[in-house]
């Protein structure tokens, strides 16, 4: 079964500690259909999420983050 990859950049409004960022990355990476979730230390407000768009949408990912109490916006994705 082929895996279709897309990616989206999510802007997180909050100033999170490195530990909180790590927890958010782990939470997002645990969502079914997500291949990876990564925040670079130089851009702690931006998370790049690689996912299978046949399994979930970027809007669903955004709702997952907002459901955890974060304020976030999609910057790009399908």
- Please give the biggest Cα pair distance in the chain: 39
Burial group, residue 46, by CB count within 10 angstroms (0-12, 13-18, 19+):
middle
Question: At how many degrees (to 10) do helices 18-29 and 58-67 cross?
Answer: 130
Residue 3 has pLDDT above 80, yes or no: no
Range 32-41 contact pairs with CB under 8 angstroms and sequence separation of 24 or more: 32/56, 34/61, 35/3, 35/5, 39/12
* pLDDT tens per residue across span 48-68: 999 999 999 999 999 999 999
Share of the chain above pLDDT 90, in %: 87
* pTM check: above 0.75: yes
Topology of the domain comprising 6-76: Alpha-Beta Plaits (3.30.70)
> Which of the pair, 77 or 11, is modelled with greater confidence?
11
């Amino acid at each position: 079964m082929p895996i279709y990859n897309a990616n989206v950049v999510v802007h997180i409004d909050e100033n999170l500690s490195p530990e909180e960022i790590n927890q958010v990355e782990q939470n997002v990476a645990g969502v079914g259909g997500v291949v990876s979730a990564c925040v670079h230390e130089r851009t702690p407000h931006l998370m790049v999420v690689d996912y299978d768009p046949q399994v979930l949408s970027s809007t669903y990912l955004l709702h997952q983050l907002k459901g955890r109490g974060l304020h976030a916006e999609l910057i790009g994705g399908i």
